[in-house]
Structure 1
Amino acid sequence: MGMISPEQVETMIKAELPDAQVQVQDLTGGGDHLQAIVVSSQFEGKSLVKQHQLVYGALQQAMASEAIHALALKTYTPASWQATRQAV
């Protein structure tokens, strides 16, 4: 299985979380270490672990086939994302 593009990761996450804002970065340029920032109202009221499980669920096949070796994940609700943006 070849490497996966950030765009493909974004598409897979949005398939599972249609309202999500997704930013995927390739940290190494090699496609195997990605960072994803996901903002979704579906995270409301869920623990970080549950939020991450939702995203990993969307990427299960890609991760199982080792298209994604490492994914640094940051998840936010729209409100927590706004708070983060204002703190900068």
Structure 2
Amino acid sequence: MAITCSQLEEKFRSQLGATHVDVVDMSDGCGSKFKAIIVSPQFEGKPLLQRHRLVNSTIEEEMKIIHAFEMKTWTPEQYEKQKNNAG
């Protein structure tokens, strides 16, 4: 069973309280390689490793199928800075 971007996005929103989620399937639709930007207030005050562990525990079941998962985990403040720097 393939995992979809929308399934992952919904899980991050519901379980991590993500305010912005952008998931891209990098595996040409087979659902085994993803890249994600996850913005959540739950990341406040947490180091990068702890943020990644939070994300990985959220998609623990899906990770049994996913072969590669690249993520950026930002607080809302960090996300705003990224948007301002990009624009």
Give TM-score, length-normalised by structure 1: 0.87
Percent pairwise identity: 34
Question: For the aligned residues, what is the CA RMSD?
Answer: 1.2
Q: Which residue of 1 aligns with 2:16?
A: 17
4+ residue segments displaced more than 2 Å: none
SS at match of 2:12: helix
In structure 1, the gaps of 5 or more residues are none
* 1:30-49 to 2 correspondences below 5 Å: 30-49=30-49
Give TM-score, length-normalised by structure 2: 0.88
The structural deviation recorded for 1:44 is 0.5
User: Mapping of 1:1-88 within 5 angstroms?
Assistant: 2-29=1-28, 30-63=30-63, 66-88=64-86
Cα offsets for 1:20-46 (capped at 9, x unmatched): 321110113132110111001110000
* Unpaired runs of at least 5, structure 2: none
